[in-house]
């Protein structure tokens, strides 16, 4: 069986400014200004459900993952630090020699409490859980339905050796489903996960801050924490942005975005763990900015996050799968290319890939 050992020291309670006395959580920075998002979110999802799906010509390309290549990398027959495969939306499979780590898998048709109503996929996942190689570690950024999917988790939990790393407060959701091997993390908690096969392989998994919120109903808003994540292997580091905003853009704002406060956590992550060999950063579900900016990056914000965490190469995610907001489904990768160029990034420094595609770093 794998072993999991906590390697970080507990932080003093006075430094945990994201904890509230009533047990809920907050974004403790000037970059986050709250609004009546719970009510607005309901209206927005209703509006999205009414909208027509885009024509096939505007949808993202989907390919079957190259599982032979993934297994060759797993067995050390292809050189590199990480092999990343985009399963769709925020679901990322990271392979290191002798280990597979899956982030935010949501493979159901709808990201909703019910598979009868709610936002429906406009592009299929690259594969199903049964198609994947055995997954050692599953990492969850927060409990929204497009990141924590019951059907997908139950399929993954059939393996008794799979470990689940989740933000503070999320463990009960798993134990209520009789799922074991759940490691619950506050921001800056770090664990070493080790598995012995023909060789011993270890990775460090650390929960890091991001600017978002949580809830699976109208009555549990921010009862559980949200997180970005850091994965450290023997020779390299990977950053998973989860679901995050960077700053709050006021309605009808026409000033310089640089004057608005940005979430300082990403600089802290870059200082503590950077530079990162590879990152997955959200670039979609951002329009309109007056509503979404506080919790969802647009491509210009994503480029700033890339710089702040000191990422050497980043892949865009969290777009092209569900219609969650107003921007055209194929707009995020186009805008990312423009923003990356404007920021002076190298052409291949911050990219998007096809659903099902793999890259090696």
Query: Annotated binding site: which residue ranges?
Result: 145, 296
Decide: helix, strand or coil at residue 187: coil
Q: Which of 159, 155, 164 is nearest to 191 (CA)?
A: 164
Cβ of 182: how many Cβ atoms within 10 Å? 19
Strand boundaries in the chain, DSSP class E = 3-6, 83-88, 91-96, 99-103, 137-139, 163-167, 182-185, 190-196, 200-208, 228-232, 237-240, 278-282, 314-317, 350-351, 358-360
Cα 344 to the chain's mean position, in Å? 25
What residues does 103 pair with on adjacent strands? 92, 139
Q: Which of 302, 282, 264, 296 is nearest to 28 (CA)?
A: 264
Question: Residue 16 half-sphere exposure, CB side, CA atoms within 13 Å?
Answer: 17
- Spatial distance between the Cα atoms of 119 and 325, rounded to a whole number of angstroms: 10
* SS3 sequence of 245-303: ECCCCCCCCCCCHHHCCCCCHHHHHHHHHCCECEEEEECCCCCCHHHHCCCCCCHHHHH
Q: Are 111 and 122 in contact (CB under 8 A)?
A: no
Cβ of 313: how many Cβ atoms within 10 Å? 19
Helix (H) or strand (E) holding 51: none
* C-alpha dist (Å) from residue 122 to 91, 127, 355: 15, 15, 12
């Amino acid at each position: 069986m794998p072993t999991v050992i906590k390697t970080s020291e507990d932080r003093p309670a006075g430094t945990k400014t994201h904890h509230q006395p009533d047990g809920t959580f907050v974004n403790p920075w000037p970059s986050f200004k709250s609004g009546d998002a719970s009510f607005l979110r309901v209206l927005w999802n209703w509006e999205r459900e009414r909208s027509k799906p885009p024509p096939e010509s505007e949808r993202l390309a989907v390919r079957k993952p190259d599982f032979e290549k993934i297994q060759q990398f797993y067995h050390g027959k292809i050189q590199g630090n990480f092999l990343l495969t985009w399963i769709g939306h925020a679901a990322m499979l990271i392979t290191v020699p002798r280990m597979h780590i899956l982030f935010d898998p949501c493979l159901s048709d709808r990201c909703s409490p019910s598979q009868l109503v709610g936002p429906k996929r406009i592009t299929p996942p690259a594969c199903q859980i049964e198609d994947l190689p055995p997954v050692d570690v599953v990492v969850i950024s927060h409990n929204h339905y497009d990141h924590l999917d019951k059907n997908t988790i139950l399929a993954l939990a059939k393996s008794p050796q799979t470990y689940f790393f989740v933000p503070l407060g999320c463990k009960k959701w798993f134990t209520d489903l009789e799922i074991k091997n759940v490691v619950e993390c506050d921001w800056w908690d770090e664990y070493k996960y080790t598995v012995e096969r023909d060789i011993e392989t270890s990775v460090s998994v650390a929960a890091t801050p991001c600017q978002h919120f949580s809830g699976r109903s109208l009555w549990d808003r921010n009862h559980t924490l949200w997180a970005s994540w850091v994965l450290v292997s023997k020779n390299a580091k990977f950053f998973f942005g989860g679901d995050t905003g960077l700053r709050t853009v006021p309605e009808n704002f026409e000033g310089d975005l640089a004057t608005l406060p940005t979430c300082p956590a990403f600089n802290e992550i870059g200082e503590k763990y950077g530079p990162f060999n590879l990152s997955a950063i959200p670039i979609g579900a951002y329009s309109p900015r007056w509503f979404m900016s506080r919790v969802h990056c647009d491509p210009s914000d994503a480029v700033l996050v890339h710089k702040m965490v000191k990422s050497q190469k980043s892949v865009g995610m969290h777009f092209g799968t569900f219609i969650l907001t107003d921007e055209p489904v194929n707009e995020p990768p186009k805008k990312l290319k423009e923003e990356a160029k404007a920021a002076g990034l190298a052409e291949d420094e911050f990219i998007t890939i096809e659903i099902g595609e793999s890259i090696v770093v």
